Structure 1
Amino acid sequence: MSPALPPTPEPQAVAARYARRDAAQDAQRYSLYASASALQAQQERLRTLRRLWQAHGWHSLAGVAITEVGCGSGGNLHDLVRLGADPARLHGLELLPERAAQARERLPAAVRITAGDALQAAIAPGSQQAVLAFTLFSSVLDAAFRASLAQQMWQWVAPGGGVLVYDFTVNNPRNPDVQGVPLREVQRLFPQAQITSRRLTLAPPLARRLPAALLGPTAALLPVIVPIARTHRLSWAVKPFSQPSSS
């Protein structure tokens, strides 16, 4: 019998999960041009993000330093530029080199893109007003690594800023490579945060079955009738200006 191999480090395991996912998925399913449901979900997410940040007191993104962990090919960073963020104040971290290369190609040259493990990123503590994690934690299955990553992100955030987490809340029985991230998990990862959370995103398998002409009004009504139809949360975890005493 051959000796047991040591556990695969979590960043390598995450990269393998994404490789399997990319090989199995239809890219058109997530195309904003080809898929009406993907476009509706993106627009709802942006509206919710804008409302959360305006309620936080940010009436402009000019001068706001934002880092996204797991930026992929740069779609969210591109949205932030369109919302008025300064490209020179944006930073994307991406584990997969090929996705980082796509982000560099598609985004303004002033946006900084760093390939590699986020735990090794050279970001000064307290230097970011916002750190984004969009469908990131659901792909990190090692609980200790997930907690370390959250702690690292929390250290980067300046007091009064926060971590923005967008992820699905339920497990997918057809995909063992992901794990749902309910609100209680966000609270566990950021125990010192003041969290505002919103349920959104019509369940993608359901949304993809709706005719495009009905998707807008139906997407607004279905979650009211059947709350479970919303499968994701957008949570804004704010770092207080004064940290609670440990005594």
Structure 2
Amino acid sequence: MELERIAQRYARRAARGEGDRYSLLRPEVWQMWQERQRALLRLLSTRAGQPADWRAAEVGCGAGGNLLDLLRLGLMPAHLTGIELLPDRLAAARAALPEAVRLLAGDASTADVAPASQDLVLQSTVFSSILDDGLQQRVAESMWRWLKPGGAVVWYDFTVNNPRNPDVRGVPLARVRALFPQGDFTARRVTLAPPLARALPAAYGLFNLVPWLRTHRLVLIEKPQDPVIPENPAR
């Protein structure tokens, strides 16, 4: 089963000590994070309404870092939902987040999130860890179903394969479009190739000026508003 294989792949990463690679104390990591945050805030600044009124859910919320960022943006704890497959990460999120944040365990494709209830649905490097096309499709369909008309998926993932890591695969923009065929897309290339960023963190800004060295895409996928059907004129 793909969900079990995902858990096994994450366990292998943990055994290799890869968690330290993502510490915000590392210079390449905070530069990646700051770049992505700036791009995301630009995209979200075009959204209607006030953040305090938005409702958001995250697929693969991990230890809760992205949900904490949404709280800093002004979203209310009771308006946030995190979904996480791995129990240790879910426990870390529960310890870090306000009690009012709703956290759900298990398969995101069957998560208890009401249809048309969310203004934003986020995923960050989750789909690149799902190697089964069918599960990718089911999770994407659930994410789309949860969105209100006019809501948006916030997508962040890498686009190219890593030949040294068979546990992940890149998700090109064409695949993202196939997963959300009804969406209106705004895409940005971000994030300097991590091996290069780790090797030369002091030169992150310089190398990141070259678009083809950026390996990830940040995408806002907007769900069209329901069409307004005019009332029949009185006869």
Q: Same fold (TM over 0.5)?
A: yes
Deviations 1:198-247 (A, max 9, x none): 00011111111225xx3xxx4333233x322101000111000137xxxx
The partner residue of 2:208 within 220, 223, 228 is: 223
SS at match of 2:205: helix
Map of 1:186 onto structure 2? 176
Between the aligned residues of both structures, percent identity stands at: 54
Q: Output the CA distance in 1 between the equivalents of 2:98 and 2:194.
A: 30
Task: Check 1:26–1:10 CA distance in 2 against 1; reply closer, same or farther (3 A cut).
Answer: closer
One-letter amino acid of the counterpart of residue 170, structure 1: V
Map of 1:151 onto structure 2? 141
SS at match of 2:114: coil
Q: Output the CA distance in 2 between the equivalents of 1:239 and 1:19.
A: 35
RMSD over aligned CA atoms reads 1.3
Task: Check 1:10–1:230 CA distance in 2 against 1; reply closer, same or farther (3 A cut).
Answer: same
Structure 2 unaligned regions, length at least 5: 228-235
One-letter amino acid of the counterpart of residue 25, structure 1: G
Matches within 5 A, 1:42-57: 42-57=33-48
One-letter amino acid of the counterpart of residue 147, structure 2: V
1:29 is the counterpart of 2:29: no
Structure 1 unaligned regions, length at least 5: 1-8
One-letter amino acid of the counterpart of residue 168, structure 1: F
CA contact (8 A) 2:155 2:219 kept: yes
Matches within 5 A, 1:9-88: 9-33=1-25, 35-58=26-49, 60-88=50-78
Map of 1:236 onto structure 2? 220
Map of 1:200 onto structure 2? 190
Count of equivalent residues: 227
SS at match of 2:225: coil
One-letter amino acid of the counterpart of residue 15, structure 2: A
Q: TM-score by structure 1 length? A: 0.88
1:124 to partner: Cα distance: 0.8
One-letter amino acid of the counterpart of residue 220, structure 1: G
Q: Output the CA distance in 2 between the equivalents of 1:32 and 1:189.
A: 31
SS at match of 1:55: coil
